[in-house]
Amino acid sequence: MFLKTLVFALAAVVATTVSAPVLNDKGLLQLALTIENLENAFFSGGLSRFSANDFEDAGYPSWVRGRFQQIADIEATHAAYLRDALGNDAPHACTYDFGYEDVSSFINLAQKIESISAGAYLGAARHINSTSTLNIGATIAATESRQASWITSTVLKDQPWDGAFETPIPPSPAYSLIQRYISACPDSNPALPVVELPTLKLSDTTPKAGQKINLWFNSSAPSPLYAAWIHGVNETYTNITTGRTTVPHGLTGTAFVGVVSSRDHPDRDNFVSGWAIVNFPFDSKARLNTR
């Protein structure tokens, strides 16, 4: 009897934690600043660790490091702008573990972080009430997207864009994509308007269409489960069978994947895991589906 009560009590706790937090402008700005604080730490940390010589030894001329310095300056400006806008409600920077080991892995992660950041602003847009906040968010999203584009094309020699539409990332998946790099945040930081979703890990983050990949995530959600592939404004669903799924056709550049419990528009009702980033690099000879 006691056990049963405990189970019910736990179920009640789980239900409350998973219930969707209200998305208001202040909470979305706090999430935006959480992302900007992370970017700020990522770029300034990478630049203090790697000298111009380190960049050159890795095959990147010194002007590449100079541009990364400009990106670092811009991220510091975004963070300061949002901190001013939020005043006493501004979350402070956390401590981070980015896990890069050399200039190349720093640059690869920079491309992902910029894509996540641009997508997070675009995914928040539909929930923003104030048109002036929406306008500022859109201008920051465009800059983050240019930065991602510069890294992907000029630095990494892949595509400058992913297709006709950028990919919007809803608030909870956006947080799930950065949470893996956050070690600890000050206790005084405000609670963010997100559902914490289990981390999703993939056996291959640059897979080919038609390839089978493994998905690892900690969840006891019952079958059937689906992988939702998000690319621009397109969502494609593939079945997950014993932790494996088949990568769909038609994905170009940077896309995202998350585990969902129904083939409906990925939303807080059907999220099972956080999202992971997947890259389908393409060269200048590729034609894009421009529908």
Which one among 61, 66, 186, 224 touches ligand NAG, defined by CB under 6 A? 224
Verify binding: residue 21, ligand NAG, rule CB under 6 A: no
**109: DSSP letter:** H
CB of 223 to ligand NAG, least distance (A): 9
Q: Which range in 102-110, 150-158, 167-175, 217-225 contacts ligand NAG by CB under 6 A? A: 217-225
CA dihedral 265, 271, 160, 70 (to 10 degrees): 130
Which one among 236, 254, 270, 279 touches ligand NAG, defined by CB under 6 A? 236
45: helix, strand or coil: helix
CA dihedral 279, 280, 283, 286 (to 10 degrees): -150
CA dihedral 190, 196, 200, 206 (to 10 degrees): -40
Site pattern 78..117 for ligand NAG (x: CB under 6 A): ----------------------------------------
* Interaction residues for ligand NAG, span 147-176 (CB under 6 A): none
Q: Measure CA of the first residue to CA of the last residue in the chain; give whole Å.
A: 59
How many residues bind to ligand NAG according to rule CB under 6 A?
17
CA separation for the pair 249, 226 (Å, rounded): 16
Which one among 45, 160, 250, 281 touches ligand NAG, defined by CB under 6 A? 250
Verify binding: residue 203, ligand NAG, rule CB under 6 A: no
CA distances (Å), origin 15, targets 64, 65, 176, 224, 250? 48, 47, 19, 21, 37
CB of 244 to ligand NAG, least distance (A): 11
Verify binding: residue 234, ligand NAG, rule CB under 6 A: yes
Residue nearer to ligand NAG on the CB measure, 11 or 233: 233
Backbone CA torsion sign across 182, 187, 191, 197: positive
* Interaction residues for ligand NAG, span 119-138 (CB under 6 A): 129-130
List, in order, residues 6 or more apart from 26 with CB less than 8 Å away.
86, 89
Interface contacts to ligand NAG, rule CB under 6 A: 24-25, 129-130, 199, 201, 216-218, 224, 234, 236, 239, 248-250, 291
